Amino acid sequence: MAVHRAPRWSLGGLVLLVTGALVTALLLAASGPGAHRAGAAEAAVTWSDEFDGAAGSRPDSAKWTLETGGSGNGNNELQYYTDSTSNAALDGGGNLVITARKNTDGGLQCWYGTCQYTSARLNTARTFTQKYGHFESRIKVPRGQGVWPAFWMLGDDLGSVGWPGSGEIDIMENVGNEPGTVHGTVHGPGYSGSGGIGAAYTLPNGQAFADAFHTFAVDWSPAGITWSVDGQAYKTLTPSGVNGNKWVFDHPFFIILNFAVGGNWPGSPDSSTPFPQTMTVDYVRVSASDSGGGATGGAIKGIGGMCVDVAGASSADSTPVQLHDCTGVDAQKWTLPGDGTVRALGKCLDVRGGATADGTPVQLYTCNGTGAQKWTYTAAGDLTNTGADKCLDATGHSSADGTRLQIWTCAGTANQKWTIG
């Protein structure tokens, strides 16, 4: 169905990072309406945030960018997005809480004058993008006339091609005057704004989404996009379903969480809507396709059949990466999600300090989108760091347990050859 609204993006509020894709995406068979998504547990998690942390602490800046401003985002929205913990903070119980409040700061100016409300909008444009896979969040939405929470994605080429050419995938939108209904929609050239294509899902028996947490997801592949609520698929859209227009869902996208107040679609809050209102997010998880596709991944084996291993199975920043006997532990399970990164234990393979010199060690580090974490796997079996234009290398041509890994000028030698999976 067409969702009657304008686009919700603002170039001025985004920190955009355009990255090169690393691997060829494989096919995810889209389930039909009414089908359950099977096998999700087997899919390799490529990125997640469980929002664990002290109450009142900020969202992880290595994962999220907080946008600011009161432009209305093309929809005449009423909120000013801030980077304050009064609008986006962890609750100490494993949740992110996005809070919309009545504004008390006369200095905050929106498109219509002094802002009436504040709220928050977070994106992963700077830190994480992925082409294809399963994107999921467990959310308890706010309640009341005029509220508009959303979990959605934009194409990573937004800065170069603009909207809607970049594509937009709305995984979940809810407006307060439809308490029991959420919408899943795509926008692209020729089917944007009020012409977006998608469907609605309504809870049975008059239930409201604000009464409890619900899980919202899409499964995205070259074959199409399938939306689900609590594991129940309700819409599949294929490339032939955009009425002869261009299918633009063939490149990496980044994630957005936001809580808008007012706007053309939900209308303004009225006296029946108390503030503050909260959008509570239990987690966001992204995985590779579990139907024979998605991100490339598994063990990475090098000289002597030894596995690339995170030393001590530690996920701490700066943990060395080494060769080790292959044991199948998580410290040897790597994913290549398609955004140029190589990941294990929720973090990225990283060239220490972003250096480019021969002999620079590689390590595990929080994913940050820099060239030190961008890799290309070639048909020749090289794993090349694109920031340094050098190859992953086993120190001293050794295959011994504990041999540290580094970057070195590509030489085609056995200690620079790797197999994945």
Active site residues: 168, 173
CA atoms within 13 A on the CB side of 240: 1
Q: For residue 165, give Cα distances in angstroms to 25, 72, 125, 187, 372.
A: 21, 21, 16, 9, 29
The DSSP code sequence of 358-401 is TT-BEEEE-----GGG-EEE-TTS-EEETTTTEEEEEGGG--ST
- Using CB atoms within 10 Å of the CB of residue 411, give its burial: 0 to 12 exposed, 13 to 18 middle, 19+ buried: exposed
Residue 169 CB coordination number (10 Å) = 24
Give the start-end residues of each E strand in 141-213: 147-155, 168-173, 181-187, 197-202
Distance CA 188, CA 183 (A): 16
Give backbone dihedrals phi and psi of 156, rounded to 5 degrees, phi first: -75, -5
> Which amino acid type is present at position 263?
G
Distance CA 113, CA 23 (A): 48
Contact 134, 289 (CB under 8 A): yes
The DSSP code sequence of 254-302 is EEEEEEEE--TTT----TTS-SSEEEEEEEEEEE--SSS-BSEEE-EE-
- Scan for tokens 């990283």, then name that residue: 350
Distance CA 266, CA 174 (A): 9
Contact 168, 154 (CB under 8 A): yes
Distance CA 148, CA 265 (A): 9
Q: For residue 216, give Cα distances in angstroms to 68, 231, 327.
A: 25, 8, 35
Closest Cα to residue 133, out of 232, 199, 48?
48
Contact 191, 237 (CB under 8 A): no
Distance CA 131, CA 314 (A): 28
